[in-house]
Structure 1
C-alpha cells in the first residue's frame, strides 16, 4: 500500500454554524483536518495525527475523513468529547468563532512521509503545541515543513505575546501560508505585505499571503513578489476557504515534485527572480480550490475533478 506523502498534524473538530437566519448546522472541520481532507480529495496520500472523541460528533468526523481516504495515526481516537467551534455567520458569509476545545497530540512515531504540515490551534494550545514543535524538530532533516498560523484570537493572549511563537514556527518552515487577517491581528501597526515579505527573508523558501476577494500574493527570497488574482465566485460562506487554498498549494507542489528532500527542490525553485512554473501552477490550483470551497456551505473542499485536475 502506498505510504502517505504528507503527514498533517493538528486539530479535528466540529464546526457548529449559526447562520443569520438563526439555524444551526454542524459540519466536520478543524484547519489541519480540512487540509488533510483536501489533499486526499486532490489525490494525494495523507495521514492525520489528531484528537477525536468517541462521541456522535467524533463518529461523523471519522467517517468524513476516512471516507475521503485520510488515514488517522494510532492514538488519534480518544475517550473524551470531540472539540467544537461555533461559527457565527454575518450577511456576507464571513465567520467569527467561539471554541470548546482541548488539544493534545497522541504519542507518535514519525511515519515515513515527504512533507509535514501543521498550524492553527495545534501550534497554539497547550499541552499539544509543545509536542507539535518537538515533532517538527524531529522531522528535520529529510522532509519539508509547511505552517499556516490560522490564528484564533478567542483562544490566544495579546498579539505581543503570540508573536515570538508564530515567528519561531515561520522561521522553521519551508512554506508558510497566512491570511491578511492573521497578519493584521499579529502585527496591528504593520502592513501585512511588509510582514509577509520579511517572513520570506527569515527562513521559508516561499510565503503566501491570502487576501480573500483580493486574491493572494507570493513572496520568496530577498525581493521576489508575485500577486495572484482571486477566482470569481458566488460566496456561500468562507469556512474552509483558507484550508482549501493550503491543500491546493500543497497538492500542486507535490505534483511538481517540489516537496520533500529537506526542501532543496523548493528552495531552488524559489531562488530566481521570477516565479517557478511549478510554483505558479500550484498557486493557481490553490486559488481554484479556495473558490470552490467558498461556493458551498461549510468546509466542503473540492475534488481534483472539481478544480480541473
Structure 2
C-alpha cells in the first residue's frame, strides 16, 4: 500500500497541568502549566507529517484561528483542509498529569462539534489510499453524520479505512454497540486496552482481538508499556513488547502509535515492521510533554 492518507478529527489547544503533588481541594498546589497544539486527529496528522507521509488533515476550528492553524499545519508537512466556525471557538482540552504520567481530561470540543457534511466533500478522497478517523468524530450527531457519509464514499471507492476509538469515557457514554455499528467494516481498528475491554467486555487482549475481528478486518490493541498486538477474527498474528522508557506524559501516545504504524504500512512495510514503527513512535511520545512530536 502506498499513497496519500486523509486524517479527519479534532483540533484542540491542550492545556497540560503537571502538579507537584496531589491537588489540594480549596487551596493551592504548585504546578507546571503549558499550552500545546493538540487534538487526536491533529496529533495523528502532525506525527504522520513528521514521518514524511503524504497527509491531508480535515477539521473545523474557530474562525479567528483559521489562518493560524492553517499555517501551523503547513509548516509541519500537513496539508490542511480547515473550515472556520463563526459560532464556536476552537476546542480546548485541559489535561491533568499525575505522578506516573497518567492523565485526566476536561474537554471543551468547541468548533469540532459543528463539523458537517459541507466540511468533508467527496473531493477530499481524490488520490487518497487511506482515511483515518478519530473516534471523537463519532461522539456528536453532526460530526458523526458527516464522517459516516465520507466513509461510505471512501468504501465505495475501495479506499482503506482506519478508526481509533480515542476516548474510553465518551465510548462509555455512547455505548459499545452503537460505536461498533457506526464503524463496522473498517480495515483497521486501533484501540487501547481500556477501549478494547469496553468494546468487547473481555479483559484478555487475545480474546479482544478475536471479538473485534468480527467487526473489523484488522485489529490492533495498544497495551501501553506492554507493547501491542495485532490480529483479527482468526486470532493474534503479531505482538511486540514496548521498550522501557521514562514516562513523562502519555498524551498522544496512541496517536503517535497509529501514525507510526500507518506511515510504515503506506511505505510498503509489512505488519511486523509497522508494529515496530508504531511502538517506537509511541515510546518517543511519552517521553515529552504534549501530544505532538517535539
TM-score, structure 2 as length reference = 0.85
Q: Determine whether 1:114 maps to 2:129.
A: yes
Kindly provide the CA deviation profile for residues 232-285 of structure 1, in whole angstroms up to 9, marking residues without a partner as x: 21111101100000000100110017xxxxxxxxxxxxxxxxxxxx11111111
1:16 Cα deviation after fit: 0.8
Equivalences for residues 6-17 of structure 1 within 5 A: 6-17=5-16
In the alignment, what sits opposite 2:37? 28
In the alignment, what sits opposite 1:44? 53
Distance 1:169 1:5 in 2: 24
Partner residue of 2:246 out of 225, 234, 239: 234
Distance 2:43 2:238 in 1: 26
Q: Judging changes above 3 Å, is the alpha-carbon distance between structure 1 residues 290 and 92 closer, same or farther for their aligned structure 2 residues?
A: same
Q: Determine whether 1:91 maps to 2:99.
A: yes
Secondary structure in 2 matching 1:98: strand
In the alignment, what sits opposite 1:125? 140
Partner residue of 1:288 out of 269, 280, 283: 280
Kindly provide the CA deviation profile for residues 133-165 of structure 1, in whole angstroms up to 9, marking residues without a partner as x: 111001113210000111251x4564xx52123
Secondary structure in 1 matching 2:262: helix
Distance 1:117 1:132 in 2: 11
Q: For the Cα contact (< 8 Å) 2:135–2:164, is it kept in 1? A: yes
Distance 2:255 2:131 in 1: 15
Secondary structure in 2 matching 1:127: helix
Equivalences for residues 163-182 of structure 1 within 5 A: 163-182=176-195
Q: Judging changes above 3 Å, is the alpha-carbon distance between structure 1 residues 190 and 211 closer, same or farther for their aligned structure 2 residues?
A: closer
Q: Judging changes above 3 Å, is the alpha-carbon distance between structure 1 residues 221 and 195 closer, same or farther for their aligned structure 2 residues?
A: closer
Q: For the Cα contact (< 8 Å) 2:210–2:232, is it kept in 1? A: yes
Secondary structure in 2 matching 1:250: helix
Distance 1:213 1:60 in 2: 36
In the alignment, what sits opposite 1:248? 260
In the alignment, what sits opposite 1:150? 166
Kindly provide the CA deviation profile for residues 25-68 of structure 1, in whole angstroms up to 9, marking residues without a partner as x: 11111111111111111011111110112346x66544432210
The gaps in structure 2 that reach 5 residues or longer are: 21-30
In the alignment, what sits opposite 2:293? 301
RMSD: 2.2
In the alignment, what sits opposite 2:17? 18
